[in-house]
Amino acid sequence: MVPTPKSILVYVGGDLVGDAMIKLPFVRALRQAWPAAHITWCAGKNRSAFARELAPLIGGLIDEVIEEAGFHQPLSLILRRPLSGRYFDLVIDTQRGVGTTLLLHRLRHGHLISGTAGFLFSGVKPPRGYRRPAAMVGQMTDLIALASGKPAEAAGRLTLDAGVEAAAAEALPAGPVHVGLAPGAGGRHKCWPLDNFIALAKQQQSLGRITVFILGPGEADMVETLQEAVPDARFPTVGPGGTLAETSIPFTIAIGQRLAAAVANDSGAGHILAAADTNLVSLFGPTPAAKFAPTARRLEIIDAASFGSQAMSAIPVEAVSAAVDKLIA
């Protein structure tokens, strides 16, 4: 545990949009742990989506984002201190390369927390017998717990534009129970069969719930099939004529906040819904849930391995339906 810091630097190599979405629970836990600190996010080698695509989400969570801070040219930082000699009470090193950690030690700082080389360079070390979580975000939040001396909680609130929230409210008015279904994924081998999503949608509608399909740019080929099979469902990300609208991540989060529960494959949509604090059923088969499960507030994981196979088709509709009922209840 370190004294309460007034200034914090978090070091990452860089953040693509997908990486940053996975790291959002860490960002929220960071602000929850130190609500009054000035938090600087440093992408030492590349760019960060927190300065770009996801900037609208992190107001009040991250105070400053530095990109391409020169750590890709380590020789230049041997002759001078990184970040122009700025001082930070606490430096959290989220990577594990020894060279970069040594460069971070050259920062003017009070305490450095780093998992590099089994916490060899860290000012505070975990207790004997500590085991690093399989999931990256778990590894990151453990650094917060180590520095703060208490469990990390991803409770810092995301910023959503009032116009985005109004658009989501228009798409899903208050009153009915809305259940979200996100049938896509980066690889189709990670997708539960579309016929199963359709069967689940009809089953949920038979209970008086409204089903909401959340489709991204890679699911354009699903639109016609889904609209014909489940015409009473809502499609907030689909525009006129069945075309997929240009939908922002903040809008999808705002939609997620209006759902009673949602079902998603191992996908970016699952992490977006988790960021919305949506009650989430997460479906896994060929990828390990321990490593890739989203950090949802309430999460039900269904793994195809429990039904004797790694194929997503092994997961029965009844099991997913029961998990949705459990989250809504």
pLDDT digits (tens, 9 = 90+) for 253-286: 999 999 999 999 999 999 999 999 999 999 999 9
Q: State the pTM of this model.
A: 0.88
Query: For the range 124-130, what are the long-range contacts, defined as Cβ-Cβ under 8 Å and sequence gap of 24 or more?
Result: 124/1, 124/2
For the ranges 131-140, 227-236, 245-254, the lowest mean pLDDT is seen at 245-254
Same domain for 186 and 142: no
Backbone angles phi, psi at 120, to 5 degrees: -60, -35
**CATH of residue 140:** 3.40.50.2000
Average pLDDT over every residue of 159-164: 91
Last residue of a domain, one of 148, 178, 207: 148
DSSP secondary structure letters along 29-95: HHHHH-TTSEEEEEESSS-BGGGTTTGGG-TTT-SEEE---STTSHHHHHHS-GGGG-EEEEEEE--
**Domain assignment present for 155:** no
Q: Are residues 168 and 306 in the same domain?
A: yes
Domain extent, residue 69, equals: 7-148
- My answer on whether 180 and 277 are in the same domain is yes
* In a shared domain, residues 192 and 321: yes
Residue 56 in domain: yes
The answer as to whether 1 is a domain residue is no
Judge whether 269 lies within some domain.
yes
Whether 157 is in a domain gets the answer: no
| Helices 17-33 and 268-275, packing angle to 10 deg | 20
Q: Are residues 226 and 252 in the same domain?
A: yes
What is the per-residue pLDDT across 40-60, written as a single tens digit (0 to 9) for each? Answer: 999 999 999 999 989 999 999
DSSP reduced 3-state for 151: coil
Judge if 140 and 198 occupy the same domain: no
pLDDT of the residue at 156: 80
Burial classification of residue 79, based on how many CB atoms lie within 10 Å of its CB (0-12 exposed, 13-18 middle, 19 or more buried): exposed
Q: Residue 116 pLDDT > 70, yes or no?
A: yes
Structural domain count, the chain? 2
As a whole number of angstroms, the distance between CA 124 and CA 111 comes to 8
End-of-domain residue from the set 122, 148, 174: 148
Q: Which of 148, 180, 209 is the last residue of a domain?
A: 148
Q: Decide if 255 contacts 212 (C-beta within 8 A).
A: yes
Residue 241 pLDDT grade (very low, low, confident, very high; cuts 50, 70, 90): low
**Whether residue 104 is found in the same domain as residue 173:** no
Q: Are residues 201 and 69 in the same domain?
A: no
Residue 156 lies in a domain: no
pLDDT at 5: 98
The verdict on residue 40 lying in a domain is yes
Same domain for 177 and 71, yes or no, is no
Tokens 């090193």 belong to 93
Whether 253 and 184 map to the same domain: the answer is: yes
Q: What is the tens place of the pLDDT at every residue in 185-207?
A: 988 999 999 999 999 999 999 99
User: For residue 316, which of 195, 163, 165, 159 has the smallest C-alpha distance?
Assistant: 195
Q: Are residues 209 and 77 in the same domain?
A: no
Same domain, 133 and 219: no
Residue 271 lies in a domain: yes
The confidence score (pLDDT) of residue 228 equals: 96
What contacts 37, CB < 8 A, 6 or more positions away?
4, 5, 6, 7, 8, 89, 90
Q: Are 283 and 264 in contact (CB under 8 A)?
A: yes
